[in-house]
Amino acid sequence: MKDRAEVVIIGAGINGCALAYELAKRGKDVVVLEKHYICYGATGRCGAGIRQQWATKENALLAKKSVEIFERLSEELGYDIGLRQGGYLIAIHDEEEMRQAKKNVEMQRSIGLPVKIISPDEIKEIAPILDPEGMEAIAATFCPTDGHANPFKTTYAYARAAKKLGAKIYKFTEVKDIKVKDGKVEEVVTNRGKIKTKYVVNAAGAWSKEIAKMVGINMPNKPVRKEALVTEPIERLFDCMVISFKHGIYFSQQEEGQILGGIPSPEEKIGYYTEPTFSFLKHMAYMLGKYAPPLKHINILRQWTGFYDVTPDALPILGETNIEGFIQCNGFSGHGFMIAPMVAKLLAQLICQEKLDMPIDRLSMERFKGKITKEKAVVG
């Protein structure tokens, strides 16, 4: 293992690997340290949906700019990331949700997203297997350029391209401590040796809070457990991701034909355990049957658990801190896959002291000192 690097990134999820690529592309000497293996964290357990329909402009812009990158990513990285743009269909259940949806759509359209509000009949046109009555939907919003990519392929593609440009990714290497001197990061201590560095990027997902503690920073993030399931593959029935903020459900049909989705478990326990629960399985199956009755006849193959790294306002924590060289790249809550391409670009620009494509000061930890505006368009 190297004993020196300009930038050390902690965590080889989608964010760590994308950033490693953006930095290596700019000629930086970069090392990624990963406790387990690539995609061990939330990235390897996620729905990998790509949604631009957000309530806050920050999230909507990060997602929109990321979609622009996703659209040319297979070509740029020389590896097919499995991008499919079948749109996101978001159920609207009552008048209050309708008011919020109208507000969201107005903002989303103002930044150039082709979102519209559709009727129950139009819901059935877009995805004939859906039952608007069972969904309890009075309408929906739909954005055709939203979609999905394969999270493993995308992350491996970034990792592979980063390595080709000289980045080093060390698996099974756990960060144990970070040494700070005179308010600056100096050295990262791992189970396999030490690395001297100028920059440390905290991209450790649900474990970011523990990493930040090593330099004396206390973060407000909470790990929240989330379960998901996947069915056997079937012929293509629909192209869009279906979600509901009220029911917390999301599901879509993947590239190979399987249905993948999740919903909060009715008997959710707080804590850091990964055992799958029967209550989740039962509730998800029941709701899937209500949303899309034909799905009742297909088989579930497996279920699993992952963790959201949730911040008080459901916006990520990005950028510099009061420890010089310690950069945050976490707090992605339920949507760290879809915004990773833009986040990586912005943080690479920050570290290389280039002009940023969009300002990120509002996403630093400083915001929690004042009044926060919470992202309302969250699912699960």
Ligand X SMILES: Cc1cc2nc3c(=O)[nH]c(=O)nc-3n(C[C@H](O)[C@H](O)[C@H](O)COP(=O)(O)OP(=O)(O)OC[C@H]3O[C@@H](n4cnc5c(N)ncnc54)[C@H](O)[C@@H]3O)c2cc1C
- In the complex, which residues of this chain contact ligand X (CB under 6 A)? 10-16, 33-36, 40-43, 45-49, 174-175, 203-207, 226, 228, 262, 306-308, 330, 332, 334-338
Stretch that binds another protein, among 128-136, 291-299, 315-323, 341-349 (CB under 8 A): 291-299
Q: Give the residue, chosen from 286, 324, 354, 358, that forms a contact with another protein under the rule CB under 8 A.
A: 286
Per-residue buried b or exposed e for 98-118, using 16+ beta carbons within 10 Å of the residue's own CB: eeebeebbebbeeeebebebb
Q: Give the residue, chosen from 71, 276, 312, 364, that forms a contact with another protein under the rule CB under 8 A.
A: 276
Helix (H) or strand (E) holding 329: strand 326-330
Least Cβ distance, residue 168 to another protein (angstroms): 12
Name the nearest CA neighbour of 46 among 25, 73, 15. 15
3-state secondary structure of 276: coil
Contact 24, 165 (CB under 8 A): yes
Q: Give the residue, chosen from 69, 189, 298, 356, that forms a contact with another protein under the rule CB under 8 A.
A: 298
Least Cβ distance, residue 13 to ligand X (angstroms): 2
**256 contributes a contact to another protein by CB under 8 A:** yes
- Residue with Cβ nearer another protein (259 or 310): 259
Q: Give the residue, chosen from 288, 317, 342, 343, that forms a contact with another protein under the rule CB under 8 A.
A: 288
**231 contributes a contact to another protein by CB under 8 A:** yes
Query: Residue 11's binding partner, choosing from another protein, ligand X, none, with beta-carbon cut-off 5 to 8 A by kind?
Result: ligand X
Sign, CA dihedral 28-154-336-191, equals negative
Question: Hey, which residues does 49 pair with through a beta bridge?
Answer: 148
**171 contributes a contact to another protein by CB under 8 A:** yes
Between helix 340-351 and helix 14-25 the angle, nearest 10°, is: 40
Instruction: Kindly give, in sequence order, each residue whose CB lies less than 8 Å from that of residue 370, ignoring residues fewer than 6 positions away.
Output: none
Cβ neighbourhood burial of 355 (10 Å; 0-12, 13-18, 19+): exposed
Residues binding another protein (CB under 8 A): 37-40, 44, 152, 156, 160, 171, 231-232, 256, 276, 281-282, 284-289, 295-304
